[in-house]
Amino acid sequence: MTKSKAKALGEDVFFNTPAGVAYLGTEWASNMVVRSDLVVSHFLDSVGGYRHKARRDRLLNILDVDLDWHMHQISDGERRRVQIVQGLMAPWKLLLLDEVTVDLDVMVRQELLQFLIEDTKTRDCTVVYATHIFDGLDNFPTHVCHLQIGSTTTPKPISWPVSTTSPESHPGIPLEALNQIASPDRIGSKLLVLALHWLKEDRLIRLKLEAEGDPAFKKRGALPESSVPTDSEVFYRKYDYTNSA
C-alpha cells in the first residue's frame, strides 16, 4: 500500500468518487453472488441494461454472450464476458481495467480492444489498462506509464508508439530497450520488450532494498540452508511413507 492521495477527474477517489469512473477487475468473477443461479438477461436488466440497449447489444455481440446463460453454470471465461458487458454498457469517462481480459480468447479480446479504441476516439474518454498480456497491444495505447516502488518514473506518461530515432524524447525508456524495439529480429511485441526491461530494472532495485534490510521488502526466494529443520519438515518426515524401506 502507498500512503498518498489519488484523484480522478479532479475528485478524491476514496471519499468523493466522481461519476463516470468505471472499474473492472478480476475479483468480480469469483464473487459468490454472481456465481448464483442468475439468468444473464435478468442480471443485466437488474443493473440497468435496459437503459443502455444500443451499447449493451453491441457488447453482447462483440463478447459473444448468450442471454440465456445461467451464471452458476458457465465457465470463468464466460462469466468474465458478462462482467465486461455489465461494466461497459453504461457510458464512462474513465475506465480502469485490471487484468480483466485474461480469460478472453484471442478473437474476442481483439474485438473488445477495437471497441475501446473507437469508444475513446468518438466519446473523448480514457482507458487505463493494467495487463501482463501484450499480444496484439502495440497499436492500442497512446501512452505508457512505469510504476516503480510506488511512484511513477517520469513526470507524465510516455507517448506511444515511441520514436526509435530520437531516444532523448523518451527519458523513461532505456536505450537498450529502444534498440530492441527497433530491431527486425525482435522477439515478441514492442510493448513486451519494454515491459521486460522495466521488470528487470524493478527486480534489481527490489533485490537491493531486500539486501539492505528495508522493512518494506521482505526477502523472497529460498531461505539460507539451516542445520535445524523446521517444525513442518519434522512433522512430514515422520509421516512420509513414500520413501520407506
Instruction: Select from 140, 151, 118, 116 the least CA-distant residue to 191.
Output: 140
pLDDT at 241 over 90: no
Amino acid 170: pLDDT: 76
User: Cβ distance 29 to 80 under 8 Å?
Assistant: yes
CA distance linking residue 42 with residue 40, whole number of Å: 5
Whole-prediction pTM: 0.84
Q: How far is CA 219 from CA 65, 148, 207, 214, 229, in A?
A: 44, 18, 8, 9, 20
The per-residue pLDDT of the chain, averaged, comes to: 89
Placement of cell 506511444 in the chain:
160
Q: What is the pLDDT of residues 134-180, one digit of tens each?
A: 988 999 999 999 999 888 999 999 999 988 777 677 788 888 899 89
Write down the domain spans for the chain.
17-133, 134-213
CATH assignment of 17-133, among 3.40.350.10, 3.40.50.300, 3.30.70.260, 3.90.920.10: 3.40.50.300
CA distance linking residue 15 with residue 3, whole number of Å: 15
Amino acid 17: pLDDT: 82
| 93 DSSP 8-state letter | S
Q: What is the pLDDT of residues 30-55, one digit of tens each?
A: 788 888 999 999 999 999 999 999 99
Amino acid 195: pLDDT: 94
pLDDT at 2 over 70: no
